[in-house]
Structures are given as structure tokens and as C-alpha cells.
Structure 1
Amino acid sequence: MKKLKKTMLFVLALGVLIAGILVLIAFARAWGKTDIEFRVHINEQLIQESTFGEPPTFAIWIENPNTGGLQTIFVTKRAALGDWEGKADVPVALPQWFEVFKIENQSNNLPSYEKPAPLAVTGATPKPGYFTTRVRVTPGSKWNCWIEVNLAGDFNEYYQEYNPEEKTTDEYLTGQPALLYKAEIEAVAGNVVKPKLAGMSVLDTEGGSIVQPVKGITTAAGIFDEMSISVIQPKPRIIEWN
């Protein structure tokens, strides 16, 4: 009986020791780490009012202002795979991020099933409501943060499905162009910034610049009715999922 008690006490002590070691490892992993967290709220009403009623296509990436280095953090599945339901390509969906993709992957082509965006940054198109994603960065580092978003079928008076005066049809049924938001942030825990509208993404413009001054935009400016970018210190985790 005494031997059994000793064994049980030994097993219990060993379990406590292992648990303590795991907790210390978790704290060690989180110590001195910094994450940039992106948080957006998708406007459900605008989605319902659009022609197709589908959530928006969007991408999030960061840029090193010193080196120009780019890193995609998240992109919705359709853009990541080139899955456009029968259309070969929709280059107007996220024109600026497609350029980021080409640079990151040293390619001249848009994403496709054969050569998609990396699985690690690809996700199903989020449903209306809040969406968050984050990336680990060096504490104290500075970043340009970019968000590009497009809601298909959000036509208005300026961006019509069919323009009777010019007798032209919106080839890709995109409606208003993709909008590009930007914020600058320093990776210091507690910093919070709100992205500002930097322009709209338009292909085949004079001079070749994709980012253009905002013109004729109405409802598209409210696709994300809340946006914030914050710097947080990650919580200790025994198991790292990423």
C-alpha cells in the first residue's frame, strides 16, 4: 500500500513538473515577441444589396518601408486560386495585390489552381462580421500596412453594369473598383492605427499606375465599416498552431 502511494505521489509530482516546464516554454516563446493584428468588420447590408450577394474579395499585406520587401498576410480564396466561376482571370478584382503576388512569387502570371498563393496566407472568404488576422514582426520595426478590397456587382451611377451613353458593358461585373487602404505603424505593443483610403485600384490607366485618385465611389467605401491595425504581445501558448 505504501509503495502504491509513493508511486502515485511520484507520478503526480512528475506531472506537475512537466506542466511547469511546458508553461515556462510557452512564456519563453511569447517573450519579446510582437504581432501586428488586422481587424475589419464586413458590412452585411452592402453585401446583400450587391448584385451577387457574395462577401468581398480582399487581401492584406505589409511592406518594409526601408527595403520595399512585401509579405502577404491574408488573401481570400477566390483571388488566391484564381477561382472565378467560369472566368479565366479577373485582373480587376485586386489589381494591386496581384502585383504583390507577382513580386513575391517572381512570376508574371496571376494566381491559379496550378500556381496558387501559398496555403498559409489563403483563407475562405469570411462571412459578414468581424475578421482578424495577424503577423509576427520584430519588436520596434516599422511597417506600411495595406488592405485592398473589392465587392463584385456593387454598381452605381458612375460604374454601371451597362453604360448606355458609351455603349459599354462591365466585362467582369465588378462594379466599383477595388479600394486600397494604407496605414503606417511601429511594432510597439499598444500602438493602434486606422487605415486611410489611399486610392482605388484600376487597370490599364494612362501612365501605368494602378493606384488612382478616388472617383465615383459611393457604397464601396463602406464595405469595411470598421478597420483597425494594432500591435499586441502574443499570449503564451503551449502549442504553436502556426
Structure 2
Amino acid sequence: MKRARIAYQGAIHHAVEAEGMLQLADGRRVREQDVVWLPPVQPRTAFALGLNYADHAAELAFTPPSEPLVFLKGPNTFVGHRGQTYRPADAAFMHYECELTVVIGRTARNVKEADAYAYVAGYTVANDYAIRDYLENYYRPNLRVKNRDHCTPIGPWLVDAKDVPDPMNLTLRTYVNGTLTQEGTTSDMVFSIPWLIAYLSSFMTLSEGDILLTGTPKGAVDVRPGDEVVTEIERVGRLVNTIVGD
């Protein structure tokens, strides 16, 4: 099932996809273009991965890390489907990052890798923009790179885990103004989803609603105000975002 959070007629609703429309909890159906899309989940803690695809690390002239490069993101960073993201006026290179995002479904502590998928509620798409010239060190992304307001569109849907039987074999694509600029597969992750859940839960408790952005493949292209950026992941969804001036 595909689930969404939307704003419609002055209220926030939970909705599901129904024959190309959004069905609200009270049974009403509304058109996708008539609502404001919100992030499909409200993360308790948001984890993100740096350099978790070998081809992206090579693209940046880095060796893939031997341990996960994990950092945290604040709630202010997220914006929904069809939202806008600001490009700072002084930015020289701002690029998208299409990322499969894992949503934790229940409390997890000391989870074995073989059992990790039992703790996943579902998946969504994130586009974790980065302003390359603000980056001090790829091994330690700073706040100005990864915690800017609305720098991370997410959605449109939370897709139930049972509807994504093999999350480690999904195609990711990004289009800028209709042109394909990035294509990869989750099978190229350095650290897999089960491994990451086992790793994180070995030293901290994961809770329902926590999310994990799992990194992006190669294909970083500069984007500018007016560009429409579409990040899509097989079986999970198609996320649309527009770049606007600061």
C-alpha cells in the first residue's frame, strides 16, 4: 500500500493511493494536484549516509569507507513532494542526491543482520541536496551542507515493506528538466540496509518512525533556480521538486 500525508482544505490528512487519486480516511477522493504534499513520515531521528555507493565515491575521487559515514538531519530539512528547495545566492555547485529511505517500524536494539527487515515499516524516496562548495570534508558533512531548511524533499509515498520484496535490487534515476542525469541501483551500496540496521542498533536504540537515507549513486549535476528535479526509485515512487532562488 502507498500512504501519504497531505494538507487539504485547511487540515492535515493521512491518505492512500486509490485509482490515481488520494483517498482520505473519511472516504473522500481528491486529485493529487489539489493538495499540498507533506513528508509521508515525521522522523523521530533521521540518519543519513555519506559515500555509500562505490561509484559515487569514485566519482568524487574517494575510496569507499571501511565504516559507515553516518550523520543526523534535523526536521527542518524535509519538504514534501512538489515542494521547493532554495539554492543559496553564493553557491557555485548544488546537486541532488536520489536516495532510498528506510522507515523503521518498531523499536530495534541489538538486531541481527538476518532479522533486520522485520523492523522495517516501509520505504520512501528522498532527494538530499548538497551545496558542494560548503563542504569541508566528505567524511564529516557540516550543517550548512546537509541541514538547510527544505534541502531534502521526501515522498511522495510511504510504501509498505511487503510491497518492496527486494530493496537491495532497485533502480534509482534522476531527471533534470526531463533529461536523465543519474541512474544506478541499490545493489551497489557499500553497506546494505540489513547491515546498517544491525550496525546502528548495536550501539543505540532505533525507534518507530526513525528514517535512514541510504546514499546516492554517481551522477551529480549542478542545478539552478527554475530547474525541475525528479528523483524516482523503482517500486517506491517519483518525487518532484523545484529549485528556486535564495
TM over 0.5: no
TM-score by length of 1: 0.28
Looking at secondary structure, tell me which structure has more helix per residue.
1
Which has the greater radius of gyration? 1
TM-score by length of 2: 0.28
